[in-house]
Amino acid sequence: MPRETFRNIGLVARSGSEQALYSLRQLVHFLQQRGCNVIIEKSLDDELGDLGLQAGSRKQLGESCDLVVVVGGDGCLLGAARTFAGHDVPVLGINRGRLGFLTDVLPSELEHRVGQVLDGDYRLESRFLLDMELNRGKRVVGHGAALNDVVLLSGDSVHMIEFELLINGVFVYHQRSDGLIISTPTGSTAYALSGGGPIMHPAIDAIALVPLNPHTLTSRPLVVDGNSEIKLRVTSFRQEPLVSCDGQDGLRVQHDDIIAIRKKPQRLQLLHPPGHDFYEACRSKLGWSSRLGDG
């Protein structure tokens, strides 16, 4: 069965990056040579205005494009994921950041790898996101979405916070700590990894809950089914804590607020060039040994 053909290509990039701009211009030239219609995000119009390209909002790109290419780091792709997951448009990442777990096409391989994708030679992964809802009494006072993680933090205070955790309506524990990371498999190699959480293969349908400096030696990361509904109720703190999605500006949490977290109905369609291997990415990005006996 023939693979999908990509003709209308949307471009998103990290603003203000000379490296990203260089790769963008290279990419535009290559795509036009391949006969593709290129549409750039409006924020790039000032930097690429001399090319005379059509520009649109991310919403417009999601509605009109067959493929969106993100040029930047994983953080840039995280922001794009929250928009394009709702439009079911596949996303491909060109790495102009640091680690590059999500943006896995190297700039030196840009034309070769993108050419393979345009020829229908690629891997398609479906990654789930989390929906976060902040409830105050009977009112919803905030919400957000995360491809990596939702994090409850003690905020500006060095003091611990206290909260209760419920999963599918069942009380799990009352905890004193600096907070809690609620991570998808995609986010398991990000902040959750720094907090001592498990690395989860992207195909796993699970959510990891990783305590931040808990005030007990027996509190350990917990992995639950990906369809679980997770609720946190903040019961005690010195200053108002924060809840943040993918490291964005956080929302202030008040006493007895309920933070509800569940899987988002829409998923991110993430493209990889042929030969992509999650374990090879772990070896190269995390410094794992490449063969037995390596130090």
In tens, the pLDDT along 233-258 reads 999 877 789 999 999 989 999 999 99
0.95 exceeded by pTM: no
Q: Name the DSSP letter for residue 158.
A: S
| Residue type for position 97 | G
**All structural domains of the chain with their residue ranges:** 8-122+273-286, 130-264
Question: What confidence tier does 78 reach under pLDDT thresholds 50, 70, 90?
Answer: very high
Q: What is residue 47's predicted lDDT score, i.e. its pLDDT?
A: 87
Separation CA 62–CA 48 (nearest Å): 20
Given the residues 45, 46, 66, 74, select the one marked as catalytic: 74
Question: What confidence tier does 3 reach under pLDDT thresholds 50, 70, 90?
Answer: low
Give me the DSSP letters along 22-67: HHHHHHHHHHHHTTPEEEEEGGGHHHHGGG--EEE-HHHHHHH-SE
pLDDT at 1 over 50: no
| Residue with the two structure tokens 């409006």 | 42
49-67 pLDDT tens trace: 889 899 999 999 999 999 9
The CATH code belonging to domain 8-122+273-286 is 3.40.50.10330
Mean of pLDDT values over 191-218: 94
Mean of pLDDT values over 262-283: 92
- Let me know: does 253 contact 242? Beta carbons within 8 Å: yes
- Assess whether 294 carries a catalytic annotation: no
Q: What is residue 249's predicted lDDT score, i.e. its pLDDT?
A: 87
Tell me if domain 8-122+273-286 and domain 130-264 are identical in fold: no
More confident: 202 or 2: 202
* Long-range contacts of residues 282-290, Cβ cutoff 8 Å, at least 24 apart: 282/189, 282/199, 285/99, 285/100, 285/101, 285/189, 286/189
CATH of 130-264, one of 2.60.200.30, 1.10.10.10, 2.60.40.10, 3.90.1150.10: 2.60.200.30
